[in-house]
Amino acid sequence: MATKAKIKKSTTPSWTFLTNHAHVLLCLAKNPSERIRDIADTVGITERAVQRIISELEAEDYLEHVRDGRRNVYKVFSRKFLRHEIEKHRRISDLIDLING
């Protein structure tokens, strides 16, 4: 009797409530020295997309990086306010606390 091939269903939803920018920021808040490759795997995007998001977040002063040997260590400026009209009364720290506890 032939065995049926199992079809693996994707565990990644087609949409999420938070943006990739929020996901990258949350990863860096939790682990400031996390590698771009690991962030990309966690978020489910390419390394290049993570680099672009980090550049955008740095350009808007939501985070900065310093070199520590061959690695970057990121500092998230958690006192900054969120950007959208609906959420601009909340700080980055509120988002971090909500998700990371």
pTM of the model: 0.85
Kindly report, residue by residue over 58-99, the tens digit of the pLDDT.
999 999 999 999 999 999 999 999 999 999 999 999 999 999
Phi, psi at 9, each rounded to 5°:
-80, 140
Closest by CA position to 76, among listed 63, 58, 94, 90: 63
In this structure, whether the domain defined by 20-100 belongs to CATH 1.10.10.10 is answered with yes
Closest by CA position to 72, among listed 38, 45, 32: 32
For the chain, the structural domain boundaries read 20-100
Phi, psi at 6, each rounded to 5°:
-85, 135
